[in-house]
Chains A and B, each alone.
Chain A
Amino acid sequence: MTARTMFDKVWSAHEVVAEAVDTPAVLYVDLHLTHEVTTPQAFSMLRAAGLKVRRPDRTLATLDHSTPTRTDQVFGSTPIKLDAAAKQVRQLERNAADFGIELYGLRDARRGIVHVIGPEQGATQPGMTIVCGDSHTSTHGAFGALAFGIGSTEVGHVFATQCLLQRKPKTFAVNVGGRLPACVTAKDLVLAIIGKIGVSGGTGHVLEYRGAAINSLSMEERMTVCNMSIEAGARAGIIAPDETTFAYLSGRPRAPKGKDWDEALKLWRALPSDPGAKFDASVDIDASSLEPMITYGTNPGMVLPVGGAIPASAGNAVFDKALAYMGFRSGEAMLGKPINVVFIGSCTNGRLEDLQAAARILKGRRVAPGVQMLIVPGSQEVKRLAEAEGLADIFKAAGADWRESGCSMCLGMNGDTVAAGAYAVSTSNRNFEGRQGAGARTLLASPYTAAASAVTGRISDPREML
């Protein structure tokens, strides 16, 4: 039998109707994650057509995108700052109740960013197909699931039929050898990968991250890598499940138990790509040679080692426009540039290990005068754990603002925004123009680099502070 890729195994196990020349595959969806921003129009479609959610038991809802992060707005009596956001929150509460979907509501201890809570609750499992009306659904590929973002019309399709019409994407092996040096993180690795293959390098493909460096990553690090697959244009990212994966999932609320767990393990162990499986494309990266990375432009592919200098433009108008937006010039060093805001959080870097990394830098230090530092846990559970092990005390003592969970300043929908012209070192995933607020200038980096820069008030190399 021909050697198969992991993607191929997961795909074919979910074909309700196989792809043909005239029709795409009808692909079964095991888990549909939903949130308040991309579902209202899909629920309206269901109501207009008199349809039900076919499998509410395979659907899970949370509030994250337009949700407030200020404790008094979540748990106190202060109203949500933005009326439109408040309306979206109320609408999802009503829709979830009307259609019988479980919702982790505003004050629920299980609430958080959709891509943080799925794994945390054990809902995300190897071999599954997982979709959500959010491009960073690729995060769940860290477990050996085929997980990708969809639009609101497709959200409606999944609600009504638990299936999607899909053409089979191509496969792309990202071979990462060696081992990440100290203080160089999964975030630096994925930024380096995007810098190498480009922001459209993965279009039409599912990236399979493989090799010694990937095998040695924790689950949280693997999630950071898979999360940013979409920033290379890829449909999804996927990593073979192994003992690290199984140890992470064991005992989580929605993970299989007892005999079911034993059966699941057998299936999960058969998922990794067979030796000799062919990929449509591939790239090789040596993790050992990597350094902390930071972006300097307006897409995640405009990235360099933090100690580097901004490249020459070579007469490229788009490049020049990006530098003008950022207020940078070719040849300038990144180190030492003054910054205004530091944001630690998001579905990319809002998990416990990310907060532990930030705390390692911030312990016994202070955020530089004039710098605003916002630390937003990826979920209420991450918040609870961070408080229990004293991380929150370190953040508060350093002068950082410690919040309730949500997407927050990654996209600024809830009012947590960066001012026009201000520089924000952010652990999120997109440095697009205006992403964190109209006119905001975003520099993507790891939690280490972000925390180090908060302390000095300038772009800094975290290796000098640990």
Chain B
Amino acid sequence: MEPIKQIHSKTVVMPSTNIDTDQIIPARFLTITTKVGLGKSLFADWRFLKDGAPNPAFILNQPAAAGSRILVAGHNFGCGSSREHAPWALLDYGFRAVISTAIADIFSNNALKNGLLPVVVDETTHRWLLDHPGAEVTIDLESMRLSLPNGASVAFPIEAFARHCLLSGLDELGYLQSKLADTAAYEAAQRK
């Protein structure tokens, strides 16, 4: 995986709360056996009309959204199914971070494994972002700070080891493999 240090982009705002993984990528697209090409089905039922044409009312189909890499979403983004297809679809589409006041546990874990940053901020910062769609913001993973164009800089939490792996471009599997002697010792001691 490529190391990630900083993401600078204008935002796209989807203020709905509880955007679940069935909206991010509907189940009928989960029959694939690879990770590639899911971006075209991202938010499929919101993004396309019944005849398959783009829904002009949907935010991602509007010119202002083009090229954005940061999604600002309502509270509890990514709830529901454990499908990792959700972060795969967001990444394939071009997003590199999601900002919300709460991001669901499994989605957040899955996102970190793939280099999509789950950024949880306070309500005041979130309100400002919702009110300023298209704002140019910077997410700095090293300092764990989000900088807004109004000069504000706010801290966000991120799990320490996931951050280390993302900054270094490391795969977490390598660390687990480095502990296999401990695992074998545990199995022997527990008769497992």
Contact = CB atoms under 8 A, between A and B. Distances in A.
Interface of A: 16-17, 21-24, 26, 28, 30, 37-38, 40-41, 44, 49, 65-66, 82, 84-85, 87-88, 91, 133-135, 137, 148-154, 156-157, 160-165, 167, 169, 199-200, 203-204, 230, 233, 235, 299, 317-318, 321, 411-413, 420, 430, 432-435, 438-439
Contacts of A438: 26, 28, 45
Nearest to B103: A203
B45 A134 contact: no
B22 A24 contact: no
Interface of B: 15-18, 20, 22-23, 26-28, 30-35, 45, 50, 74-76, 79-84, 87, 102, 104-106, 109-110, 113-114, 159-161, 164, 172-173, 175-177, 179-180, 182-183, 186-187, 190, 192
A251 B159 CA distance: 43
A157 B180 CA distance: 12
A430 B81 CA distance: 9
Contact of B104 (A21, A134, A148, A200): A200
A422 B57 CA distance: 24
5 contacts: A16-B183, A134-B81, A163-B179, A199-B76, A432-B20
Nearest to B177: A161
Contact of A317 (B15, B32, B75, B179): B15
Contact of A204 (B31, B105, B175): B105
Contacts of A30: 192
Given A318-B17, A433-B45, A412 B28 contact: yes
Contacts of A17: 179, 182
Nearest to B22: A432
Given A157-B172, A233-B79, 19 more contacts: A16-B183, A24-B159, A40-B33, A134-B81, A135-B81, A148-B106, A149-B106, A161-B173, A169-B105, A200-B79, A299-B79, A317-B15, A318-B74, A413-B30, A432-B22, A432-B23, A432-B80, A434-B22, A438-B45
B163 to A, nearest CB: 10
Contacts of A65: 30
A160 B175 CA distance: 12
A435 B82 contact: no
Contacts of A26: 176, 179, 182-183
Contact of A165 (B102, B161, B190): B161
A160 B109 CA distance: 18
B1 to A, nearest CB: 11
